[in-house]
């Protein structure tokens, strides 16, 4: 595969100026939406083949979110693309000041395996609506979905506009060795650092959507049964292979027993007495991840679940108790259906746990006490989160989605996707009918005038 030739083709297409035409962008987005509708069952089948993802989850967490993003982009592409007039500075009088949004150029999008359709198509929509060309590198761990993405994109787009490059990490390394105008990466923190380093070689701007140990705090005022139901959904959807899933629970010690009982009830309610035969519970993506997760269970105090089947890549929805910060399960992002439960008695206990990790991608608080929720929100930095639920901040396209610190750089979704893939170019249009001479040398006698004038700014 000749990666430099592919990049050269994308650059040549961008230079034609076609992607800067807003009508062309909208036309492409409409065709993209229609092709996705046509292939909906194929998308469902591909994800079922990948890791037995339930069709309901595929529609709810992949296809419907993509349609939401597409519908908004099609509706707003003209509005977003217009120059924005801003208030001019008195120092530049007379002038009119504007922000122009221009595409970066040729972009690289590297997508992950856990939501292989939605997390590939979402950034593509941003690249298109902003007027860029793009090369998509989907995950090799979900080959059926990657092949389908290549088919859909080839049906809709000129190969110079959007194209798919399939392959393993060697292909990814070849892509990262090229000079792109923008790189958008979704994946793990360690690989994100590799991408960031490669981008720095050419001072290429990036968006990094990463992860971390997202906490779930439950205080003594929370509605425990409701909290348990919402946590079970947020944790075990996609078999826990979600970057914003609750990674661990911190529950007030007075509510631990009640919570554990409620989690037991809600897991059985969702997946039955034997989740392995449930059609609503996905599998681990591959043997490597299965082994990693299984090792986290070695010696752990299992309250519920813990069953595994390597042949089926199955790990039951699992709750761990009597967990300490020194346990293996607390040393890394879990990214699987294992949920440790720790306790706290004071705000200081919460602070001690959260500050032992890097800033997380998400955080969740279950409480009916406004002062506690406000304290948490002001005390800790995290990418985004929810009070009294999990995951749902991802759904609102009016909220930018992204991390902070080690959990990510930049954000996207909705209008923010357009701004992420656009350079905001500032332009001052200066009038010629007046030219105040105070700024020009010689400056003798002008300093006092300048000081008086700046008091009014």
**What backbone torsions phi and psi does residue 100 show, to the nearest 5 degrees?**
-105, 135
DSSP conformation letters of 10-69: HHHHHHTTGGG-HHHHHHHHHHHHHHHHHTHHHHHHHHHHHH---HHHHIIIIIHHHHHH
* Residue 167 Ramachandran class (φ > 0 left, ψ -120 to 50 alpha, else beta): left
The token pair at 447 is: 């300093």
CA 84/CA 133 separation, integer angstroms: 24
Count, residues in the chain: 457
DSSP conformation letters of 359-395: PPSEEEEE-S-HHHHHHHHHH---SEEEESSSSGGGT
**Could you tell me whether strands 338-344 and 318-320 are parallel, antiparallel, or unpaired per DSSP bridges?**
parallel
**What backbone torsions phi and psi does residue 207 show, to the nearest 5 degrees?**
-120, 130
DSSP conformation letters of 236-275: HGGGG--TTS--EEEEEGGGHHHHHHHHHHHHHHHH-S-G
CA 240/CA 335 separation, integer angstroms: 6
Q: What is the CA 407 to chain-centroid distance, rounded?
A: 10
Q: How far is CA 145 from CA 45, 176, 200, in A?
A: 9, 22, 30
Q: What is the tally of helices (H) and strands (E) in the chain?
A: 16, 20
Q: Which residues are catalytic?
A: 209, 243
Among 360, 365, 364, smallest CA distance to 404 is for: 360
CA dihedral 32, 38, 39, 41 (to 10 degrees): 140
Among 403, 405, 401, 426, smallest CA distance to 416 is for: 401
Helix (H), strand (E), coil (C) string for 87-128: CCCHHHCCEEEEEEEEECCEEEEECCCCCCCHHHHHHHHHHH
Q: How far is CA 150 from CA 30, 264, 333, in A?
A: 18, 42, 31
Half-sphere CA count of 154, side-chain side, radius 13 A: 8
Question: Do residues 119 and 138 touch, judged by C-beta distance below 8 A?
Answer: no
Among 243, 233, 28, smallest CA distance to 132 is for: 28
CA 423/CA 97 separation, integer angstroms: 16
């Amino acid at each position: 595969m000749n990666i430099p030739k592919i990049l050269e083709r994308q650059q040549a297409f961008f230079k034609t100026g076609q992607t800067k035409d807003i009508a062309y962008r909208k036309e492409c987005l409409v065709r993209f939406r229609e092709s996705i509708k046509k292939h909906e069952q194929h998308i469902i089948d591909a994800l079922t083949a990948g890791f037995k993802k339930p069709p309901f989850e595929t529609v709810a967490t992949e296809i419907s979110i993509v349609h939401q993003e597409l519908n908004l982009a099609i509706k707003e592409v003209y509005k977003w693309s217009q120059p924005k007039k801003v208030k001019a500075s008195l120092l530049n009088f007379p002038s009119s000041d504007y922000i122009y949004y221009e595409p970066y150029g040729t972009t690289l999008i590297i997508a992950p395996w856990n939501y292989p359709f939605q997390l590939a198509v979402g950034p593509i929509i941003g690249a298109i609506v902003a007027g860029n060309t793009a090369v998509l590198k989907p995950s090799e761990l979900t080959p059926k979905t990657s092949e389908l993405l290549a088919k859909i994109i080839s049906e809709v787009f000129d190969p110079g506009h959007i194209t798919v490059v399939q392959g393993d990490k060697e292909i990814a390394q070849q892509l990262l060795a090229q000079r792109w105008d923008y790189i958008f990466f979704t994946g793990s923190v360690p690989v994100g650092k590799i991408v960031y380093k490669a981008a720095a070689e050419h001072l290429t701007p990036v968006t990094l959507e990463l992860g971390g140990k997202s906490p779930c705090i439950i205080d003594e005022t929370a509605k425990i049964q409701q909290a348990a139901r919402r946590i079970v959904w947020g944790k075990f959807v996609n078999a826990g292979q979600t970057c914003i899933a609750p990674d661990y629970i911190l529950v007030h010690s007075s509510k631990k027993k009640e919570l554990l009982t409620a989690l037991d009830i809600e897991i059985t309610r969702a997946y039955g007495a034997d989740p392995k035969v449930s059609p609503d519970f996905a599998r681990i993506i591959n043997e490597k991840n299965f082994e990693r997760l299984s090792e986290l269970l070695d010696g752990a105090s299992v309250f519920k679940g813990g069953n595994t089947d390597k042949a089926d890549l199955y790990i039951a929805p699992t709750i761990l108790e009597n967990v300490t910060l020194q346990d293996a399960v607390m040393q890394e992002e879990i990214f699987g259906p294992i949920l440790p439960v720790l306790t706290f008695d004071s705000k200081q206990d919460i602070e001690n746990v959260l500050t032992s990790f890097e800033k997380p991608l998400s955080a969740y608080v279950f409480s009916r006490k406004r002062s506690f929720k406000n304290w948490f929100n002001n005390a800790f930095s995290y990418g985004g989160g929810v009070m009294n639920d999990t995951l749902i901040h991802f759904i609102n396209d009016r909220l930018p989605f992204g991390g902070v610190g080690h959990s990510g750089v930049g954000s996207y979704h909705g209008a923010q996707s357009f701004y992420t893939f656009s350079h905001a170019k500032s332009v001052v249009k200066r009038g010629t009918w007046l030219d105040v001479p105070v700024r020009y040398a010689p400056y003798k006698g002008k300093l006092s005038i300048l000081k008086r004038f700046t008091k009014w700014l």
